[in-house]
Amino acid sequence: MADSNSSDPSAGGASLNPTAASFTMPSASDSNLTNGHAQPAPNGEGQSKVTVNSQPRTAESAGKATDPNVAEAGAGAKLTGAQLKKQKAAEKAARRAEKVAEKGAQAQVPAQTQGGPGPSGTKVEIPRRPSTTKRESDSVPQLRRTPSGSRTLPIRVGSQQQQQQQTLNSAPPEKEKHHEPKKVGMFSHLYPKEKRATLAGAGREIHPAVLALGLQLRDYVICGGNARCVATLLAFKKVIQTYTTPSGVALSRHLLTHLNHQIAYLRNARPLSTSQGNSIRWLKNLISTQPVEAADSEAKQSLCEAIDLYIRERITLADEVIAREATERIEDGDVILTYAKSSIVEKTLINAHRQGKKFKVIVVDSRPMFEGKNHARSLIRAGLRVQYALLTAIADIVDQEAVTKCFLGASAMLGNGKLLSRVGSAMVAMMAKECSKNKSRNVPVIVLCETVKFSAKAVLDSIILNELGDADALVDSAQPEVFSSTNLSGPGAAAAASKGSSKKSGSKDKDTTGKAGSKKPGGKDKDDDDPDDKGDFSNAGLEAWQDQPGLFLLNIMYDVTPADYLDLVICELGSLPPEAVPVVNGVHGDDQAIA
């Protein structure tokens, strides 16, 4: 290779040295060039010189490198404009070549450090200095980035790191504490798609009144179709009162958008009931028909007044009309069968008792909510004769007690005349009709329902349209109390106790209230070996049901009673057969108000 300080043109290249820069054109026989890359080559003085193999030499580039005018310019002769231009181009090319050589040398050093092939074809390893500080990344082996042309080498782990890695590999994985919800395939469409509404997960656009209502609905503090409908309308009334229309937007448009956020939060807390859906559709229709030129204060005042009027006419006054109509069908000596709790049924029975009619009420209840407890407690306080039993004893009650009428509440009256009510209502209605066939006595099943609960939907079973409650509620071992007129204060309690409430202690249905299977002092029950008669029979085998394969719990909330088991539907419009519900929907219903 030619020395950079030589200016002899016969040395195989041209040399320019106007400044400190040096540029050397290598010859084709240079052995230090490998595959077109720059390689370090030792010179005679022990220093390394970097040579660069640029693009293939052309005739033009060769002519520039061996131009005699450029050589004379290096000797100190006066340079012409063309020579100065060539000189500057040569200096620029020299600087570019030096940068390329430096980058090539830096690229070779990491490859040799990782064990890549050196100049002689052997692997070169550079010893690493031990670090005095322990980094966090040293405890966990990590892959290192290597050039694309180099081979990935296995990671060397020290003895202590190897032991830690083996311990991690041999340790069994811990069980996940969070169980995925076990779903029954047939009812998978009823499970909530997202978590229930929480206070922390609510957006800032949610009104505080709606927040409180959502939590109460989620925890079943507010139950019943009428109570949920009234609470929803009152919460929306507060939302409207505090609402301010943005500038440049009509109230009838923006208020609907603002209200949709509140509805979505309530729907996430608990699926909307039929009465809630009908009232919300009515309110949306009312907001959309507000005149654009009306002031905000006037529009909000008219909406609030309309909400109060709706609650009064469609729920409060409707209940009074239904209770008066149903009271006329109660006679002295009747034994009325009812299920769970219905506000309109409770009002009807208390109203009939205040009119001086003598009758007996059998309240049938079921777990896990035990709504019938509050119903029976209210009736006992009012002075009625009440018999309380669980749903499992319905066959014995209907067979032994001379039931004359059956009153049921409703969550919705469907378009095909069927009843959607608390789960178990269909069994009660069926047993009442079977009693009519076997005992040759007519036991009419009467449904008390407001028109706000009428729906145009036609449902054939309890699978498509339903709601699921918390499955863990079925594992609770709490049993209902024994109700008696002697342990509740109220008008007529002592009289009711003397007229026969005490005889419940020996009846079969009383044994189903939580005292079933209890042994007498000093005696032994004949069914002592039955596991159902032991103290913790209610949750036997269900303590860790989510960990047991093949075990699923389903807490369904409603069922559908066929129209064949219903005799009469009493609403504020009067008494009508179940088949006439679609006619009332077409005239007075709310489902068709807004799609």
Per-residue pLDDT of the chain (595 residues; tens, 9 = 90+): 444 444 444 444 444 444 444 444 444 444 444 444 444 444 444 444 444 444 444 444 444 444 444 444 444 567 788 888 888 899 999 998 988 888 877 766 555 555 444 444 444 444 555 555 445 444 444 444 444 444 554 455 455 555 555 555 554 544 445 566 788 888 988 888 777 777 777 888 999 999 999 999 999 999 999 999 999 999 999 999 999 999 888 898 899 999 999 999 999 999 999 999 999 999 999 999 999 888 899 999 999 999 999 999 999 999 999 999 999 999 999 999 999 999 999 999 999 999 999 999 999 999 898 999 999 999 999 999 999 999 999 988 888 888 999 999 999 999 999 999 999 999 999 999 887 666 667 899 999 999 999 999 988 899 988 999 888 888 875 655 555 554 454 444 444 444 444 444 344 443 333 333 344 444 444 444 444 444 444 444 677 788 888 888 999 999 999 999 999 999 999 999 998 988 887 655 555 433 3
**In this predicted structure, what is the pLDDT of residue 227?**
95
Residue spans of alpha helices (H) in 448-580: 493-498
**In this predicted structure, what is the pLDDT of residue 550?**
85
**In this predicted structure, what is the pLDDT of residue 474?**
87
Residues of the chain with CATH 3.40.50.10470: 334-516+539-579
Q: Is the pTM of this model over 0.95?
A: no
**In this predicted structure, what is the pLDDT of residue 146?**
46
Q: Which residue has the tokens 């028909």?
A: 289
Whether residue 337 contacts residue 360, with contact meaning beta carbons closer than 8 Å, is answered with no
Strand partners, 67: none
Q: 36-45: long-range contacts (C-beta < 8 A, 24 or more apart)?
A: 37/104, 37/108, 38/100, 38/101, 38/104, 38/105, 39/108, 39/119, 40/105, 40/119, 41/1, 43/1
CB proximity list for 497: less than 8 A, separation 6 or greater:
484, 485, 486
Peptide bond into 368 cis (omega under 30): yes
CA angle 463, 468, 470 (to 5 degrees): 155
CA dihedral 446, 452, 457, 460 (to 10 degrees): -20
**In this predicted structure, what is the pLDDT of residue 163?**
57
**In this predicted structure, what is the pLDDT of residue 129?**
53
CATH topology of domain 334-516+539-579: Rossmann fold (3.40.50)
Give the helix/strand (H/E) hosting 334: strand 334-339
Closest CA to 517 of 529, 534, 503: 534
Residues of the chain with CATH 1.20.120: 196-316
Indicate the CATH number of 196-316 among 1.10.540, 3.30.70, 1.10.20, 1.20.120. 1.20.120
**In this predicted structure, what is the pLDDT of residue 25?**
47
**In this predicted structure, what is the pLDDT of residue 307?**
97
By three-state DSSP, how is residue 558 classified? strand
Closest CA to 186 of 558, 559, 554: 554
**In this predicted structure, what is the pLDDT of residue 450?**
95
